[in-house]
């Protein structure tokens, strides 16, 4: 049977998101010794133990929630009676350490040619990507990766805006103006993401801004997104467009968070 350390090294090598849970302190009594460890993936317990029973079940659920939220490390203290529901007294303190969890979420509405190229490029960076589209045939062309969530929209795409993380960098790259505009309007009405952009020409940008004004949003809303997205470089080839967009995303990210800083919860970019 593989040891904790062997499993840890394998998970790191595979790049698979996981949580290492360590029992760091005990007050009174607990069913495991200080220093006990376990590894948890999105599928559940992989190896090790921090006490079994209700403590372990609660710790596994906590670790899986951290992975689902792509959250950072966390320290918890649980009273075995009031928090866990055990009859024995005591308090346990646990440290949850996340690995291979990208904390820079990028959401792309649309899975067409440029999105296909962009996703493959972004997967070389430390980020988590979500792609939303109504077209299954295009979604099927995307690569499969732990850091890529693919959503086949069975509701109007603006419906998904409410589900996005607050620190997401959001790109509208759907079939065209008519499908980008409703998503933009919903975002500008209800959310305030650190980066919002739409692919297209200057003419499309003008049409989108007219549509936003016609929807009754204030004038400043029409200036709260980038369009065209991407730095002014390269050609109209999808691969070169992808490079220009990725470069802009990095530029905007680093304008508000130094390179290698994982906490991107409070960025707000300069006006486009």
229-242 pLDDT, tens digit per residue, is 999 898 889 999 99
- Which pLDDT belongs to residue 264? 40
- Alpha carbons 255 and 258: distance in angstroms, whole number: 7
In degrees rounded to 5, what are phi and psi of residue 149? Answer: -105, 125
Q: Which two tokens stand for residue 115?
A: 């999105």
pLDDT in tens, 60-78: 999 998 888 777 788 998 8
SS3 label, residue 264: coil
For the beta sheet containing 105-109, the strands, ordered from the edge strand earlier in sequence to the opposite edge, are 148-152, 128-133, 105-109, 169-172, 195-198
- Which pLDDT belongs to residue 263? 42
- Which pLDDT belongs to residue 73? 86
pLDDT averaged over the chain?
Answer: 86
Element (H, E) at 21: strand 18-27
pLDDT in tens, 132-175: 999 999 999 999 987 899 999 999 999 999 988 888 999 999 98
**Domains of the chain listed by start with CATH number:** 4-99 (no CATH), 105-256 (3.40.50.720)
- Alpha carbons 132 and 150: distance in angstroms, whole number: 6
Q: Are 64 and 49 in contact (CB under 8 A)?
A: no
pLDDT over threshold 90, residue 3: no
pLDDT in tens, 21-57: 999 988 876 666 888 999 999 899 998 988 778 888 9
- Which pLDDT belongs to residue 257? 61
SS3 label, residue 204: helix
């Amino acid at each position: 049977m593989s040891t904790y350390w062997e499993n840890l090294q394998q998970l790191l090598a595979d790049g698979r998101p996981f949580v290492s849970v360590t029992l760091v302190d005990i007050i009174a009594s607990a069913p495991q010794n200080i220093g006990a460890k376990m590894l948890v993936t999105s599928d559940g317990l992989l190896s090790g133990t921090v006490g079994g029973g209700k403590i372990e079940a609660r710790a596994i659920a906590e670790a899986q929630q951290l992975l689902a939220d792509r959250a950072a490390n966390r320290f918890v203290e649980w009273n075995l009676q009031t928090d866990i529901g055990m009859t024995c007294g005591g308090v346990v303190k646990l440290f949850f350490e996340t690995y291979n969890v990208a904390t820079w979420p990028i959401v792309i509405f649309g899975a067409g040619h440029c999105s296909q190229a962009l996703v493959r490029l972004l997967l070389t960076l430390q980020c988590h990507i979500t792609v939303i589209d109504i077209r299954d045939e295009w979604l099927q062309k995307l690569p499969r990766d732990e850091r890529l969530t693919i959503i086949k929209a069975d509701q109007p795409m603006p419906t998904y805006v409410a589900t996005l993380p607050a620190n997401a960098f959001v790109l509208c790259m759907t079939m065209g103006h008519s499908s980008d505009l409703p998503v933009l309007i919903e975002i500008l009405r209800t959310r305030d993401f650190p980066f919002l952009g739409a692919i297209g020409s200057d003419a499309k940008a003008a049409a989108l801004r007219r549509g936003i004004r016609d929807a009754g949003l204030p004038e400043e809303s029409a200036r709260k997104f980038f369009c065209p997205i991407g730095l002014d470089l390269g050609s109209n080839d999808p691969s070169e467009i992808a490079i220009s967009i990725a470069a802009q995303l990095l530029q905007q990210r680093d304008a508000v968070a130094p390179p290698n800083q994982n906490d991107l919860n409070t960025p707000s970019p300069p006006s486009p």
